[in-house]
């Protein structure tokens, strides 16, 4: 596996992100299919007068459908496939490209970088990891 492909310019690892968890989305799709095949929406409507929480079935179903929209099969280097994650116009992406670097971990100015720190990326663990990536 090419881990570098899945390491964004800021050092975040795409495969640690929920939108890239393909197994999660496969399970949600399977659950929605099974629910439809079993007629769960009809059952929930039928039983809701006796089992109150079944009134919430449409909300649960919509939640799962909305979560599916978060799916991303790309990487930070390729740009997002969902509306989350790395943006093509990301300030960090532009900065790294302008300095002809692979990522922030190669930059000596990282510890004082506003775009980097404004995203909350200056944690102790991340700082140690970035130092190790050089």
Query: Could you give the angle at the alpha carbon of 6 between the alpha carbons of 109 and 31, nearest 5°?
Result: 135
DSSP characters over 55-109: GGHHHHHHHHHHHHTT---SBTTTB-SSSSS--TT-HHHHHHHHTT-SSGGG-TT
The dihedral through the CA atoms of 18, 20, 21, 24 has a sign that is positive
Q: What is the pLDDT along the chain (134 residues), one digit of tens a residue?
A: 567 778 888 888 878 888 888 999 999 999 999 999 999 999 999 999 999 999 999 999 999 999 998 888 777 666 554 455 566 677 888 888 899 988 888 888 877 887 777 666 545 545 555 555 55
Written as six digits, the tokens of 82 are: 């969902």
On whether the CB atoms of residues 14 and 76 are closer than 8 A, the answer is yes
């Amino acid at each position: 596996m090419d881990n570098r492909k899945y390491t964004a310019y800021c050092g975040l690892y795409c495969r640690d992100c929920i939108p890239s968890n393909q197994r999660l989305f496969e399970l949600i799709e399977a659950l929605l299919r099974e629910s439809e095949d079993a007629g769960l929406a009809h059952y929930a409507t039928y039983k809701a007068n006796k089992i109150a929480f079944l009134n919430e079935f449409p909300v649960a179903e919509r939640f799962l459908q909305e979560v599916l929209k978060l799916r991303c099969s790309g990487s930070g280097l390729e740009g997002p496939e969902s509306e989350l994650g790395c943006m093509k116009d990301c300030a960090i992406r532009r900065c790294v490209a302008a300095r002809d670097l692979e990522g922030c971990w190669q930059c000596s100015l990282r510890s004082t970088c506003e775009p980097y720190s404004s995203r909350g990326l200056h944690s102790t663990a991340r700082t140690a990891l970035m130092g190790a990536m050089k």
